[in-house]
Structure 1
């Protein structure tokens, strides 16, 4: 046992308080342990709780749950080293596809996913005395779910089970409340000062979008790494959002003399991970994802370069696309990253953003339960017996919309039934250790293409193959079988191990269901192209992602069953295939369609088989290309498979299509006579008046000086306007079309029938008949006004604020007051004998006094045969010339 190394771990001082919280008099049996990185919370605490240290303690079996495989392996190896043993003795680990556990193992380090599978099989967690949930501040969905399940176990089955929520920086009080008031134990770390160097790019860079990171920012990060190497001693740890960015920066750092560049991420080969965690002879630059924020200790690091970016899951439920997206790292993550530089001595952090930006960063990363695809979560809770997750102790409840979308997926693949309870099939899926979609593809695909082949394809889909394999799933499958390792990250070996694990799981699941899996036979030869590789790859991908089946539109683009447009890359061999089973797609910025990243061609029969629950047939009656089109349509989601004309569609569907046509093309589809148009304008005028418009600044009706208020013609009386006159704007009439166009609309079948509907006759149905106001239409808004000459002149209501009366000037002689309709003086257009406008006035008395003289001087020479009296207010009105008037 390396006693000296154990004694130097600062968390040792917190062990008495932790033991008291778990085992002392009146102990709670649970605790929240807050300890900075490097204090030994991940390595010393589990050994102490298991009684493996020199100071003794009760002998217990301890399970430590880590959020990542790389962290689980590293923690187990470190604990075994401290004890002077090899992994598999007193300390072991279990991750997906790998188990190093011995008969005498007392501390087992597992991923949260492995612990969840164990809980589903054995809710009592028999033989386990203590569970340590490490790095719970990262708020991974699996970790939150496991914590909720363990609290259920303590409450109902195992009150003696001890729980420790351990974290470097966390919402301690939130976790304490979640653990039913558990005490918070804090360990002080040995921290060295860390200088903060603000190193923003000299020129603006584009913000991250989706998976895209501006190459200019990555070039800047590489330059800052070079600067840090020149200005500081020790190794440099550089944080980047993902594997692709790590590869790009590694390429930009090529040729550093005397310096080794290492890459740390979840896909890194075990040998590389070991090299990073054990140190080396040369100076090192370690390019890492967030896995190095808290889960791993990288020795020798004195300088951190922080790109300021992180990756978080996002799900587009409307399009059926889920992916990782690049975001700005939170302030909490920035603190964690900076702390890595002060673990072994004074250090420095170079932050690749401006100091002024720091306060605008989010305080904490978004909990995964708020942003991720919840399909796997929903299946786990259904198998646990709480389909709605309403009885689980969670720091954040699952969003209702995302949970509903997850249940729809689970129902479609037969994983849950009535009430959201897990079916036997769903239980088998949950135990396979892959996303439920992939579990469905494995189970159903194995019956069609054989267990081994289905397992190999699902293994490809569970960890996206290297980009160098291309976008053709079948071609990537062949490359993996040849042992290709295009990315140099050990992908092929991981793929083979995962395929073997999945094949075993599928055989067990199919055997327990009473259905024997298909014999793979010669199809499992492990190399070359099998007779049906393309078909097998397409079928399995389609079973996993039926909503992403896509049919060619004939122009190089595709329509997914989900309704999303998709497009393979230029030059892709996938272009031209009539159908694609799309396994991976994303939505680049400024692109109208999703980009196909991994897919396989399929035929229509395969598409129909894989997406059978999404197939539907219905009578569709719609407004298409300017008329009613009625068809019997068979669809696969949004993709139309077949269509036949429908001879006798339901009238309700036809009516709805006609209303759509009216909404699309407007009321001009109806038959509008002159009388109908004028009626509509008159109604618009009355509606405007009833709404209180057309008034002066004091709220009184605008009436010409000396005119009788409310006069409906040259000598009319009062005409108050009621408030029931209908709104006849396009929007209002279209909104009530089903009311005022019936029963004519109910008898119409096509566009031509609309053109025969008398709009004017239908409009009259909207008049306020019930109140009796409709009978006053001609009084309030007369179609014509009788002028002094005796002529009945049509009123123009095209401007609802003020009607217009266009009349020859001589016909208005003798009228001193302006005609008024509904309390509004008409705007009189006084015409010359030739019918041309001579003057416009809303105040005839004023015009006769002041304006007439100028008009008379201009026109009487031009029209000498017409009367031009000096006092028109007292002259006889006439429609004729002077001579004819005398006769």
Structure 2
């Protein structure tokens, strides 16, 4: 079996000094965690070193977070061994594989490894696994690490090495059963760091500002002109890269080779950016007599997992694009945020790999100091539908028991399971069904896998594969109309048409033979797009209501102004984004890409959301019922019907929960009784009934059943005496004392009786008795109710019924306050008695003359 010449491969690489420590760690525990900064050579040296370790006889599988990194690492190692890619060293990524029978080291993406682990946890033919760049914390890398931790319990002959460029190595070592840490310090080339803050904001409501991108281009051009060295520029996304590449081309006017680098490029273009060139060599378009500096404008691809050779200058926008979940609108998307400080440090280090370097950060030093220290783990912010299916197929629903570096958030994993249940992929306990295992065998998002397999039966395998390739490409639809996008790709009018075509052919080969392939007769290619999108995202089937579209999930969004999709009643929506201002409408969301659909296609794709439901509404004292056919939250039809008792009961309960007892439209006497019951509960507690909105709605059958039965047959409640209904709640035998404990009226010294005003249920106010002052002569003790526990506040009124005083202590009032009241009132009301001694005077309702 072929072996690797480590001395030749590692010549000049700092990691060469750590090879003995790595061999010792593997011999001692069969596992290791390597901590080494970018550029030390760990990706180049560790895989062949592991392949040559004692006891390793199979293939060494090495993960790289991105396809371009896997291809690049394989080609570099193959070149160092003097062999072709696919011979001693190869790679396997989605849609592209170059391996042979004699391949000893195979670079793969984490997703490829996860698929293999789920298909066969024994990993036949694999002698060791190296997980590179585990610090990047993407979901599939975390899952691959966790699954391998379990596999090692079954295969103690499987060495596992986890490699990180940050200080998280100890954390991974603990999870990997206390594996030794092999630490390689950074190469100490001098690195100058400067700050070049922009004159405009970096971000606004729409994302990265054009003014800031122009600033990045200007800083880069000035530094390259001054130094003449190769440069690496970090930007968050494709749009920003394309704008800066154009700006640099205009500013430098051919004085530099400017190359973009991102995941959406053709492999050949990616390889050109990372291939480098030998010292003194010339590119085909370099000017005679010299070489132009190279400027690679990249996403964080080049941060740690990918090496761009020859770089001595780094210009960093200090921005990153990370996944974020919007649970309110059920959306997941990439959001531009400030990069973490550890990311900025890694980016800057790219300038000092070969010698002294310069890093320019496009913000102030104070702004840099307050950046987050570490990047957010993707598992905390991403859509976890694929993860949920993978762990279900593994036999660990919701990831329970797995050695994940961070557990998935409960709310998001529950949402993901709900999506999978809708696809029939998991059962009520979260375990994978046969259908789920079939979806998991398709290397795609489970929703896209469902659209591919089911769509092939409806529209044909070829068309289904084309549309799913479009959906899974991650491309931003130029106009938001996926049907138009597909036409452009088929006609090769789109720059990514070749990549799309390869992926469509791969998916077609995968599904052909599983499905009929002919499709539904009479369905046009344009109709097929909406059908496949709806199969992938049945919760995003949307119906127009005015200017807004309502989704089957219950959320809503609007079309972007001027969208070609305007006017369609039904849409199958693939992507929704947040947007600021009026453009997003009340829903706060804008449809980024979609395809037209008809009602038949919507019902077919989202058949599990179809429901015939009888509902009732209580309003203005009456209950009205309707039978409603819904597609999720979309109302398809509504027919008046007589409500069932259960529906009427729920309608009344909902009205009470929303509006309290008043929602029933009771008369005044009923309201007074309700308030008295509320005071009894407040002051005396159980067994007196709880008559709040929740209390009344929960015990509806105990007190309002006859009235609800009457509502079903067309009766009304508004304005009715509900006192008898409320009294059904009174406990026995305590009910016999209710009127004594919480009296409706109180007798005053004049022998008259007056109603007590009780506070509303839930209020803390005291009960109140309003009575004319003259009727209270001789009343020295304020009244009390509830067996004397609750004092009644007395409002003493003038002969005209206007308030004179408020008191809970009549004795004090007569002694201290009455003389002043008498002095003021006797002249105003001379016909009424105002005795000097009210304590002994006769209480009366009459004037002096009538007495």
User: Residue 294 of structure 1: CA displacement?
Assistant: 0.7
> Does residue 448 of structure 1 match 2:458?
yes
Q: Does 1:574 align with 2:575?
A: no
- 1:429-468, aligned counterparts within 5 Å? 429-468=439-478
**Does residue 197 of structure 2 align to residue 187 of structure 1?**
no
- Give per-residue Cα distances to partners, 1:584-636, cap 9 Å, x unaligned: 22232454333211111111111111111222223222346885232222221
Q: What is aligned with 1:269?
A: 266
1-side partners of 2:101 and 2:668: how far apart? 98
1:116-515 equivalences under 5 Å are 116-156=114-154, 158-202=155-199, 206=203, 212-226=207-221, 228-229=223-224, 234-257=229-252, 258-277=255-274, 278-279=276-277, 281-316=291-326, 319-416=329-426, 420-468=430-478, 470-485=479-494, 488=495, 491-507=496-512, 510=514
1:562 Cα offset (Å): 0.8
Once the two structures are superposed, the pairs formed by residues 781-796 of structure 1 within 5 Å of their partners are 781=743, 783-788=745-750, 790-793=751-754
Deviation for aligned residue 1:494: 0.4
Shift of 1:816: 6.7
**1:8 match: secondary structure:** coil
Q: SS at the partner of 1:114? A: helix
Separation in 2, partners of 1:625, 1:758:
15
Paired residues for 1:436-835 under 5 Å: 436-468=446-478, 470-485=479-494, 488=495, 491-507=496-512, 510=514, 516-518=516-518, 532-553=524-545, 555-589=546-580, 591=584, 592-593=586-587, 594-623=589-618, 627-647=622-642, 649-670=643-664, 672-679=666-673, 690=683, 739-741=702-704, 743-749=706-712, 753-755=716-718, 757-765=720-728, 770-771=733-734, 775=737, 777-778=739-740, 781=743, 783-788=745-750, 790-793=751-754, 800-801=765-766, 803-807=768-772, 809=774, 815=778, 817=780, 819-822=782-785, 824=791, 826-832=793-799
CA distance in 2 between counterparts of 1:350 and 1:870 reads: 94
Task: Pick closer, same or farther for the CA change 1:629–1:284 going to 2, 3 Å.
Answer: farther
Q: Deviations over 1:629-679 (max 9, x none)?
A: 3222222111122332333x3312211201222344443454655544555
How far off its partner does 1:351 sit? 2.6
Q: Distance in 1 between matches of 2:768 and 2:691?
A: 17
Indicate if the aligned counterparts of 1:319 and 1:562 stay in contact, CA closer than 8 A. Answer: no
Structure-1 separation of matches of 2:663 and 2:237? 58
Q: Which region of structure 1 is more displaced relative to structure 2, 426-435 or 235-244?
A: 426-435
More off after superposition, 251-260 vs 776-785: 776-785
SS at match of 2:603: helix
Distance in 2 between residues matched to 1:186 and 1:273, nearest whole Å: 31
CA-CA distance at 1:167 after TM superposition? 2.4
Tell me by how many angstroms 1:460 deviates.
Answer: 0.4
Distance 1:537 1:292 in 2: 35
Question: What is the CA distance between 1:425 and its match in structure 2?
Answer: 4.3
Report the CA distance between 1:500 and its aligned residue. Answer: 0.8
Who is 2:23 aligned against?
19
Q: 1:11, 1:189 within 8 Å by CA — same for their partners in 2? A: no
User: What is the CA-CA distance between 1:411 and the residue it aligns to?
Assistant: 3.4
Q: How many residues align?
A: 816
Q: Secondary structure at the match of 2:454?
A: helix
**Secondary structure of the equivalent of 1:192?**
coil
Contact 1:626 1:661 in 2 (8 A): no
| Distance in 1 separating the partners of 2:216 and 2:501 | 35
- Between the aligned partners of 1:289 and 1:563, the Cα distance in structure 2 is 35
Shift in alpha-carbon separation, 1:130–1:742, aligned structure 2, 3 A: closer
The whole-number CA distance in structure 2 between the counterparts of 1:596 and 1:46 is 45
SS at match of 1:613: helix
TM-score (norm 2): 0.86
Distance 2:594 2:151 in 1: 42
What is the TM-score when the length of structure 1 is the normalising length?
A: 0.83
Unaligned runs of 5+ in 1: 524-529, 692-721
More divergent stretch after superposition (582-591 vs 630-639):
582-591
Corresponding position: 1:851 with 2:840: no
Per-residue deviation, 1:178: 2.7
Distance in structure 2 (CA, Å) of the matches to 1:414 and 1:676: 52
Q: Provide the rounded CA distance (Å) in 2 between the counterparts of 1:779 and 1:870.
A: 35
Q: Which structure has the bigger radius of gyration?
A: 1
Q: Deviations over 1:766-803 (max 9, x none)?
A: 5565447x636457646143334x54455555695363
Distance in 2 (CA, whole Å) between partners of 1:159 and 1:79 is: 28
Change (3 A) 1:85 1:806: same
Separation (CA, whole Å) in 1 of partners of 2:668 and 2:424: 63
Contact 1:686 / 1:781 at 8 angstroms: preserved in 2? no
Q: Return closer, same or farther for 1:537/1:820 CA change in 2, 3 Å cut-off.
A: same
Q: CA RMSD in A?
A: 3.6
**Corresponding residue of 2:287:** none
Measure the CA separation in 2 of the matches of 1:729 and 1:657.
17
* CA distance 1:779–1:645, change in 2 (3 Å): closer
Q: 1:238–1:306: 8 Å Cα contact kept in structure 2?
A: yes
Shift of 1:379: 2.8
Kindly state the Cα deviation for residue 854 of structure 1 after the two structures are TM-superposed: 3.4
Q: Can you list the C-alpha shifts for 1:472-495, whole angstroms capped at 9, x where unaligned? A: 11111110011123xx4xx11100
Instruction: State how far apart, in whole Å, the 2-side matches of 1:795 and 1:3 are.
Output: 100
Gaps of 5+ in 2: 278-282, 284-290
Deviates more, 1:376-385 or 1:455-464: 376-385
Q: Secondary structure at the match of 1:753?
A: coil
| Segment drifting more, 749-758 vs 437-446 | 749-758
